[in-house]
A = this chain, B = another copy of it.
Amino acid sequence: MNFLEQRIAKEGIVKPGNVLKVDSFLNHQMDIKLFDEIGAEFARRFEGTNINKILTIEASGIGIAAITALHFPGAKVVFAKKTKSINLDGEMFTAEVESFTHKNVNHVIVSKKFINADDHILLIDDFLANGCAMMGLIQIANQAGASIEGIGIVIEKGFQQGGQIIRNLGYKLESLAIIDAMDANTGGITFRKQ
């Protein structure tokens, strides 16, 4: 197991309905030293790319993207905002995103000022499950004409379809931990060998 899988195995709590709680280090309390290891690992996996911008989505992606940026010198970080309503004034790239967890539709927006066709983007998020949020970010990067150099995910739920869909689209998707199965009764977590 890598450093992240070890931490998930130690502190992650499996709840019924394929819910994994990692709020002690990832998405409520944040272990910044771990985030720094995550950032270093993303830098290793995307070595040789010319990434100049990291795009993520509020809220849990922000801390990871900010610390990861320390490992991509010169890269700017932009976080997409979630909103119920679209402002159609033309100043924003927008994508519609259906939340698997909350069963509702949100819009993801990024100001046109902050992404453009010259950008080489790394997309970052804490979780990948059905992939809807990430496909919203992909849409936005494509609307801007930017190049998507890679997609970095901390925890992928490999038993949901998002990872497969995004890899089938040809994107370089790197998930630092991929969970193939979880058992709420035993608390067991099965990681995919990488």
Contact = CB atoms under 8 A, between A and B. Distances in A.
Which of A31, A63, A111, A113 has the largest number of chain B CB atoms within 10 A? A63
Measured as residues with beta carbon below 8 angstroms from the partner, the interface class of chain A is 20 to 34
Interface stretch (A76-84, A147-155, A182-190): A76-84
Given A59-B58, A62-B59, A81 B28 contact: yes
A180 interface: no
Q: Is the interface of A mostly helix, strand, loop or mixed?
A: mixed
A135 interface: no
Nearest to A53: B29
A66 interface: yes
Contact of A28 (B31, B32, B35, B78): B78
A164 interface: no
Contacts of A32: 66, 69-70, 76-77
Interface of A: 23-24, 28-32, 35, 58-59, 62-63, 65-67, 69-70, 76-79, 81, 110-111, 113-114
